[in-house]
Amino acid sequence: MPVLYDRLLKLKEMFNSKFGSIPKFYVRAPGRVNIIGEHIDYCGYSVLPMAVEQDVLIAVEPVKTYALQLANTNPLYPDFSTSANNIQIDKTKPLWHNYFLCGLKGIQEHFGLSNLTGMNCLVDGNIPPSSGLSSSSALVCCAGLVTLTVLGRNLSKVELAEICAKSERYIGTEGGGMDQSISFLAEEGTAKLIEFSPLRATDVKLPSGAVFVIANSCVEMNKAATSHFNIRVMECRLAAKLLAKYKSLQWDKVLRLEEVQAKLGISLEEMLLVTEDALHPEPYNPEEICRCLGISLEELRTQILSPNTQDVLIFKLYQRAKHVYSEAARVLQFKKICEEAPENMVQLLGELMNQSHMSCRDMYECSCPELDQLVDICRKFGAQGSRLTGAGWGGCTVSIVPADKLPSFLANVHKAYYQRSDGSLAPEKQSLFATKPGGGALVFLEA
């Protein structure tokens, strides 16, 4: 905590010089690393993240007017002010302040409030942006907790997580809720199995003889700014509908791949066999999807596809479903190994992480050359397993490394990936670090 205390003191000074007053309270929300279970939360399946020590911190002073003033300690992010009664979120531009507004609007709408008090907020974050460690969701969660505290209202952590997961969609990201859930439900010293519908979190004790190391590929990917992410969400939705139709279920009500499995009452392994029978590996075009479902192109566009996926011409349904069902099974295997703690536990967990990366790369196609190269380097220098984490297409890898190999692993990976001869990557301390499971979101009152 000493580092956090120093940051709070510094934030208080900066707040005073910015707004000419002292904050009344501070809110912290952490980023996260997803150890295994990529791109399956929005399909209804459990995931296995842990909070990282990096976080978003906000210093807050409620004011008597309706003015909302947001400032950031990072000069790259310009100040923003608006009326707290007229929150407009521009989906076309994922600017930093829009994530704050998502959290605020989510709480405002939950309580059905038209008038919100104004506030001065100074935001400080040390989660690398667009790195797949959920800097944007941490800001949404932090803003939600700020708003709740200003209102003097109470909600459970689960309710807060659900509200913030829903409200991030105001910016156009169709996420599944993992990032917001772990930000609120995390506890120091343990990873969590996060399950959905209903939302719940179970402790998963990670092996004591290994550490998880995060390495940033330094390729940035902003989920809300690119269509990749939302196209995958839609491909999974379409795959679920075609699988449901194939099995004579009421397909028009089905939105997620997990619902198909639940309705059929079969195992994930059996769902993989159904996928082999029902879907073909060749990409589907909109016309073929319409033929399979017996609907018109107009119905497909307006009733199923999201606005930002209406012009997509090919959908890889087989590959996406194969990834989701196999990845969901890997999450459950990972948890089981952690519980049973066999002798070769680190090796077994590493193999699952390696399989996850292969599936993300080949079936879900959410990797990139730099991530693949970084994963190879990590394995070469002692990681038992390594995979992309977060949405992909850039961002970070997570590796499981035996504790006794950590110093040499860090030195070798630094040399092989970050100190390349062309000097193209600025080595930052944020780029490569071992992490342990951190705690969840908190409010600190100014003494």
Active site positions, annotated: 179
Alpha helix stretches (DSSP H) within 58-177? 96-110, 135-151, 157-167
- In the chain, the amino acid numbered 210 is A
Helix 369-380 / helix 406-413 crossing angle, nearest 10 deg: 140
Calpha distance 410→406 (Å, rounded): 6
Distance, C-alpha 260 to centroid of its chain = 24
Cα distance from N-terminal residue to C-terminal residue, the chain: 17
The C-alpha angle with vertex 39 and arms to 208 and 299, in degrees rounded to 5, equals: 165
**Residue 32 in tokens:** 């996260």
CB-CB contact of 237 with 284 (8 Å): no
Calpha distance 238→248 (Å, rounded): 15
Calpha distance 37→356 (Å, rounded): 8
CB-CB contact of 390 with 27 (8 Å): no
φ/ψ of 81, rounded to 5, equals -140, 150
φ/ψ of 304, rounded to 5, equals -115, -50
**Residue 334 in tokens:** 């990972």
**Residue 121 in tokens:** 């907020």
Long-range contacts of 368-377 (CB under 8 A, 24+ apart): 368/217, 368/219, 368/392, 368/393, 368/394, 370/217, 370/218, 370/219, 370/394, 371/217, 371/219, 371/395, 371/397, 373/417, 374/215, 374/217, 374/417, 375/399, 377/413, 377/416, 377/417
Instruction: Output Rg (C-alpha) for the chain, integer angstroms.
Output: 22
Helix (H, G, I), strand (E, B) or coil at 234: helix
Calpha distance 7→55 (Å, rounded): 11
* Residue 312 burial (10 A CB sphere; 0-12, 13-18, 19+): middle
Query: Dihedral sign, CA of 146, 151, 155, 159?
Result: negative
Strands (E), 238-348: none
